[in-house]
Structure 1
Amino acid sequence: MDKARLFQDEIVGARVYAHEIADEPWWRREKVPLVCLLCTTPVVSQRAPVGRARRNALFRLAAGRTHEDVCPLNPTEVQQKIARGSQGVAVISGDELHLLLPGDLTEIDIPTGVDDSAGAGGHVGVDIATVRPLLPPLINSAVVIARFLQKHDFDPAVVARFKVRRPGKNTAAVAWSEFCHGPSPEDQARLYTRLTTGPNPAHPVALYGRLTSISNDSRHTPVLRLADANGFTVRIRSDHPSLLAPLTVGDYVLAVGPWKVWTPNRGRPELQMFAEEHWQLTHWTYDDTTGHSGPPACPPPLSLAQRTLRQVRTAAAAPKPAPGPTNTTASPPSSTSAAPRPLPTTFHPAPVPAAAPTPPPLLPTATPPTPVTPTPPSAPPMPAPAMPELPPAPAVPPQPTVPPQPTSPPPPRTRRSWWPFGRRR
């Protein structure tokens, strides 16, 4: 914790701050008892270590003591609260809370309705509440954890009680810093190095920081700057200005999404994230003096028109697949399939009626066809004229060659012995 209160004669006194510890204040020299900022549990002051890993001075619970149940700084109560409202994405293992991370940002679903603000009359319900509009359980749990650790000034002993489980076969719990990078510039630099040297994270990552400035790019779109780290700048961008408009300078932000490193032609490299959904940006206020944390909030969800515009832009930017080599030769064109089949080159039409083409399907095929007009027995049939032999048909004739039909002999002419208008003279 970074704040505590004096406790003299069973009376809770003035507020004291962790940054005063290094100057050896009077209450430290006189060993005045201290209690938690939000309950009456005894705490002790600890100076920053010398020659070790960087750590600020802070207040910790006295040996063998725990926060009161109604205290918002009680890790056990907060862990139980998060697990009950997480829909299974946060589980308790011993004295630790494990947050189950998905493999991709698209696996984070919007809940139909979750409200963990039960007991709003107490400190827990007021200081740590569900973000409105409702966030996915994973994002809401991460926001509650980040705001809780902020109240403890990211005390390493408290941070160690929160861990994450990465997707895949290796489900062993790892440190909270594998998912959330912040608040110090060293944490953000670790994410920058992780993205530039690889391999990239196989799960969504979050970055916690404070908004320092808001500017406009060349397209007059707002750009949020979180920090200027050693050699790069942390910025948040979006194609939808409505996602960035609610944020103001001084807000604390938990940004979850696909982070990447962009190196412009001029200027410093940029650790950036493009926000596409409202639940990727959760912001709140925090007063370092009083320790009061404002209610968390997030931008309004995208409208139907914005989502349609995003789909159109995505479809236009997506590369179109080139046609395969088999698309033009897999099936012949319709004109070729509809062309008549050429006759064999060795076919010659027969000069006699016996070689006539096959009669229509309605006639029986077991007996030879009979001529349509019978030949009288008194007159011999006239032979059919001999057809000249056709030359061999070309390989692809322009028109089909139809064999000639056999001709029937004309009927015999009979002599009439009478005339309708009298005897013929």
Structure 2
Amino acid sequence: MLQAHGNDLADRFTVQPHGGQPIPWTRFCYGPGTEAYSALYRRLHRGESVTHPVAVTGTVQRVNEDRQGRPYVALALNVPAGKNVFFHVAVRSAHPSLMEPLTVGTSLLAIGEWQIFYGSTLPQLRLWADEHWQLAYWTTGDDEQQTTPRCPPPVATRPNRPAAGGRDHAARPAAPRDRAGASAGGVRTPANGDASAKGGNGAPPDDMLRALPAFPPADVREGSRRSALGRWLRQVRGA
């Protein structure tokens, strides 16, 4: 209805996010138009906390490919956001099937977590779409009649989207027992059921039967625990 009436009724609507307070439609849906895009850009550039999904609507202006050959669409180019400040509005996805129906001239509404990406020549106000329901598109014929909005087909595969800094997976922390042993200066010995630390007959290897010297406490005359650790390592090597 808002699309049919040119958004003239937008101020009369509110949106209630799940578990949140109602917000004005104009704080939920931005566009079409550079003024609305600039308002969202400035909101995110200030670091304002946005705790609900945001929708952006517009018309596909360009279809490009990134360095990995994945298509993405631009809803607006060279949008002014202040003195000598310009940005693009883009929708990207790790799933080419979500971008396939979006051609130049197609109307699009994209909802999700919009962010500013500063890594290209101009900043990008962009959305990474991971699910088909985040995108709704329609076209307008020569008779000005609009098709019914629809979503792309659901994604068949789910490739991992690279995390910030190019790291796909976060480093797994050590087990609490390992950290405790390291902080105490102790030596970790294999558990009884650890077959990888045993010999072929299930007995410990000979080099594990040797008793290690007890770790000495810090000597006041040495001035630090580091010196005591060095003395202990020399005893281990000479054992």
Q: What is the TM-score when the length of structure 1 is the normalising length?
A: 0.39
Asked if 1:333 corresponds to 2:189, the answer is yes
Partner of 2:58: 209
Q: List aligned pairs for 1:227-306, cutoff 5 A.
A: 227-228=76-77, 229-230=79-80, 231-264=86-119, 267-287=121-141, 290-303=143-156, 306=157
Distance, in Å, in 1 between the alignment partners of 2:69 and 2:155 is 19
Contact 1:151 1:291 in 2 (8 A): no
Output one character per residue of 1:95-120: Cα deviation in whole Å (capped at 9) or x when no partner.
Answer: xxxxxxxxxxxxxxxxxxxxxxxxxx
Partner of 1:176: 25
Hey, which bits of structure 1, 4+ residues long, moved more than 2 A? 165-169, 321-325, 327-336
Please, which of 151, 154, 161 is the counterpart of residue 4 of structure 2? 151
Amino acid in the other structure paired with 1:283: Y
Partner of 2:14: 163
Distance, in Å, in 2 between the alignment partners of 1:234 and 1:251 is 15
Q: Secondary structure at the match of 2:160?
A: helix
Distance, in Å, in 1 between the alignment partners of 2:191 and 2:105 is 72
Output one character per residue of 1:134-184: Cα deviation in whole Å (capped at 9) or x when no partner.
Answer: xxxxxxxxxxxxxx11211111xx223321124556x2x331011111112
Distance, in Å, in 2 between the alignment partners of 1:302 and 1:321 is 29
Q: Secondary structure at the match of 1:199?
A: coil
Q: Which has the higher contact order (CA 8 A, sep 6+)?
A: 2
Amino acid in the other structure paired with 2:121: G
Amino acid in the other structure paired with 2:16: R
Q: What is the TM-score when the length of structure 2 is the normalising length?
A: 0.67
Contact 2:11 2:26 in 1 (8 A): no
User: Which segments of 5 or more consecutive residues in structure 2 lack a partner in the other structure?
Assistant: 81-85, 193-203, 210-239
Distance 1:331 1:160, change over 3 A: same
Contact 1:164 1:176 in 2 (8 A): yes
Distance, in Å, in 2 between the alignment partners of 1:274 and 1:183 is 19
Query: Which structure's CA Rg is the greater one?
Result: 1
Report how many residues are paired: 181
Please, which of 54, 67, 71 is the counterpart of residue 218 of structure 1? 67
Distance, in Å, in 1 between the alignment partners of 2:89 and 2:191 is 63
Amino acid in the other structure paired with 1:234: V
Partner of 1:92: none
Q: Secondary structure at the match of 1:198?
A: coil
Q: List aligned pairs for 1:26-425, cutoff 5 A.
A: 148-155=1-8, 158-168=9-19, 171=21, 173-228=22-77, 229-230=79-80, 231-264=86-119, 267-287=121-141, 290-303=143-156, 306-307=157-158, 309-310=159-160, 317-323=168-174, 325-328=179-182, 333-334=189-190
Output one character per residue of 1:38-58: Cα deviation in whole Å (capped at 9) or x when no partner.
Answer: xxxxxxxxxxxxxxxxxxxxx
Distance, in Å, in 2 between the alignment partners of 1:161 and 1:191 is 20
